[in-house]
Amino acid sequence: MSAHTQRLDALRHAMQAHRFDGWWLPSDDPHLSEYLPAHWQGRAWLSGFTGSVGLLTVTQDKAALWVDSRYWVQAEQQLAGSGIALEKWSPRDAEAPMQWFVTHLPKNSRVGADGAVLSLKEARTLNDVLQPASLKLDTTTDLLDHIWSERPALPNAPIYCHDSQWVGESTKEKLSSLRSAMTDQGADAHLLSALDDIAWLTNLRGSDVEYNPIFLAHMLITQDQATLFVEGDRLEREARSALEQAGIEVAPYENAARQVAELSPSSHVLIDPSKLTLLLADAVPESADLIEASQPTTLAKSRKGEMELAHVRDAMEDDGVALCEFFAWLDEALAQGEAVSELTIDERLREERQKRPNFVGESFPTIAGFNQNGALPHYRATEEAFSHITGKDGLLLIDSGGQYLGGTTDITRMVPVGHLNSSQRDGVTRVLKGLIALSSAHFPEDIPAPQLDAIARNPLWQAGLDYGHGTGHGVGYFLNVHEGPQVISWQAGAAPRTAMKAGMITSIEPGLYREGQWGVRIENLVVNRTTTHNEFGRFLEFETLTLCPIDTRTLNLLLLNEEERAWLNHYHSVVHERLSARRMTTRALEWLQRRTLPV
């Protein structure tokens, strides 16, 4: 038996002991984060599937892992021999995993889930599906604690200030704006668990979650008091002092639910059901009024101020120089026949970024996928499985990013290795056409971001092509590389909370994937800027922030029209002008000059 099969058996024994007929295990923690501390990576520990998103459903005789199209190939490989079936899940069919229990369990069965890692919204939907089928949902138990004997401890890294030279607003100012928003909603208390929102609001940073400069905490904000639930000994002296000056008290992390329960029974409490767990929501006094709406901090955090954007542009130049140094080395290494692998690329990119000022770390695991590995949108090379590149022909996809004190970067570029065939060149070019189309768009302020998705997809749709992931996600300011509320994906639905506002930073990353052959993705970060304000309203356009050449050797230039060529030439002239003014090696400068020549 494999380790994962044994763990699944242990879970089933624990289910029997606690009289559960089914078990629901999402990829979540008490903060509903995308990237999790090891303590809460139970789905990966049980199943062996290491992707960042997935849901495990278990009965006594069946188990299923639910993942979207980004992970189908990876999940199929990693689940082999585990006894867990792969379920190809679409966000358009959100209730399918819940209906799975209805199909596989008899009436009066009990389905268990840990309410500490289950959002209030998901718990309600799960109950709405199970109850009509006479299935009972119980959220009072964490079975992982009963079977995971070597479960990692909670992270305990220091928490530090994001220095005022990088921050546009003080914590006092942010708290004042939040309280005004609470008043507008009729709330006298607000519960906050989203880690990036808390880091933004307090102007503090940490390292509890790999690649994300955040820390484990909850917050309770009232009109005259604010409490940060975090272990006090983790706060550096300057961080503790900053909290005191902002009027924020500190209480132990585990006290959050207890203090929430002490709110006045007549309180009006603002919560976001999609960003708060059932456990913490249930702690609110039963007679209190729940005001359910988007967290004001999520929108405020997404709208970068001019000071922050100036720092972002500077960080993009630093990142661009690091990329020039890397790509110049890569071209030379491949030309000279040096041994280059996907792992080498990961290491060398990290080395170049580490040389840049104000670099803190990577913003996500580097994706370096050659040929068929590039067809896996969230591929990551490991010591056990990676591809060598030297001496071969094909497409190399490199998706990487950095965390700088002045901003977060995320970029994808394609590199030709040896000879490319016409199908590969056409694929890269159509993806570029999609990027150019959306990058060039003007659109009304407040348009739901998902409605912009078709602009990037149209050049692919015209050729009968498409891709399974979204086209764009929000990006934080020295925070999470994925943030909301905006998301450019037609599958996300055009909700009012996804409205596009000035100052938002978003990725544009169309793609094309040929399973088992090659994959294409080209990605830049852009910021919403006001372009027109007239009787028809306020209109926005994108300013491209990312500074790195798009390798024209991968393109079929005949597929580009005059406007698209003009866009590419203008982009390359800007890249050359801004990066060549920075200090770099002669090799990197010569590479930059070659790669930005007009087409």
Q: What is the pLDDT of residues 141-178, one digit of tens each?
A: 999 999 999 999 999 999 999 999 999 899 999 999 99
Query: Do residue 337 and residue 248 come from a single domain?
Result: no
- Say yes or no: 133 and 169 in one domain: no
- What is the span of the domain harbouring residue 165? 160-300
Task: Give the full edge-to-edge strand order of the sheet including 55-59.
Answer: 85-88, 63-67, 55-59, 22-25, 110-112, 136-138
| 481 neighbors 363 (Cβ within 8 angstroms) | yes
pTM of the model: 0.94
- Final residue in a domain of this structure, among 269, 300, 331: 300
| AA letter at 599 | V
Convert the pLDDT of each residue in 536-586 to its tens digit: 999 999 999 999 999 999 999 999 999 999 999 999 999 999 999 999 999
With a pLDDT cut of 70, the percent of the chain lying above it is: 100
- pLDDT reported for residue 518: 97
Q: Are 346 and 197 in a shared domain?
A: no
d(CA 140, CA 60): 20
Same domain, 339 and 404: yes
Residue 540 CB-half CA count within 13 A:
24
Written in H, E and C, the secondary structure of 511-561 is EEEECCCEEEECEEEEEEEEEEEECCEEEEEEEECCCCCCCHHHCCHHHCC
pLDDT in tens, 75-131: 888 888 888 999 998 877 888 999 999 999 999 999 999 999 999 999 999 999 999
* Of 316, 311, 362, 305, the residue nearest 165 (C-alpha): 311
- DSSP helix/strand/coil, 426: helix
Tokens 């062996």 map to which residue? 48
What whole-number distance in Å separates Cα of residue 318 and Cα of residue 359?
9
Encode pLDDT of 204-231 as tens digits: 999 999 999 999 999 999 999 999 999 9
Q: Residue 557 falls within a domain, yes or no?
A: yes
Strands of 231-353, DSSP E: 248-251, 268-271, 289-292
Q: What is the dihedral of CA 110, 111, 116, 119, to 10 degrees?
A: -130
Query: In the structure, what pLDDT confidence band is assigned to residue 1 with cuts at 50, 70 and 90?
Result: low
Q: For position 259, which CATH number holds?
A: 3.40.350.10
Q: Is residue 278 assigned to a domain?
A: yes
**Based on the domain organization, do 261 and 338 belong to the same domain?**
no
**At 454, which CATH number?**
3.90.230.10
Per the prediction, the chain carries an average pLDDT of 95
Give me the number of domains the chain comprises.
3
Residue type present at position 539 = F
Could you tell me if residue 152 is inside a domain? Answer: no
Residues 352 and 256 in one domain: no
Same structural domain, 214 and 66: no
Residues 470 and 330 placed together within one structural domain of the fold = yes
Q: Are residues 437 and 413 in the same domain?
A: yes
| Dist. CA 568–CA 523, nearest whole Å | 14
Q: From residue 490, how far is each of 91, 420, 522, 560 by CA, in Å?
A: 11, 32, 19, 25
472 has pLDDT over 90: yes
**Residues 433, 326: one domain?**
yes
Tens-digit pLDDT profile for residues 481-505? 999 999 999 988 888 999 999 999 9
Residue 153 placed within a domain: no
Distance between CA atoms of residues 231 and 213, nearest Å: 17
Shared-domain flag, residues 353 and 475: yes
CA distances from 418 to 63, 340, 396, 518 (A): 44, 13, 10, 14
CB atoms within 10 A of CB 156: 12
Q: Among the residues of 377-525, which ranges form H helices?
A: 422-439, 453-461
**Residue 581: Cβ-neighbour burial (10 angstroms; 0-12, 13-18, 19+):** exposed
Residues 359 and 446 in one domain: yes
How much of the chain is in helix, strand and coil states, percent to nearest 5? 40, 25, 35
| Final residue of a structural domain among 300, 324, 349 | 300
Nearest Cα to Cα of residue 274 among 216, 203, 191: 191
Residues 62, 68, 70, 74, Cα dihedral to 10°: 0
pLDDT number for residue 474: 98
Q: In the listed set 147, 174, 207, which residue is the last one of a domain according to the structure?
A: 147
Residue 422, classed as helix, strand or coil, is: helix
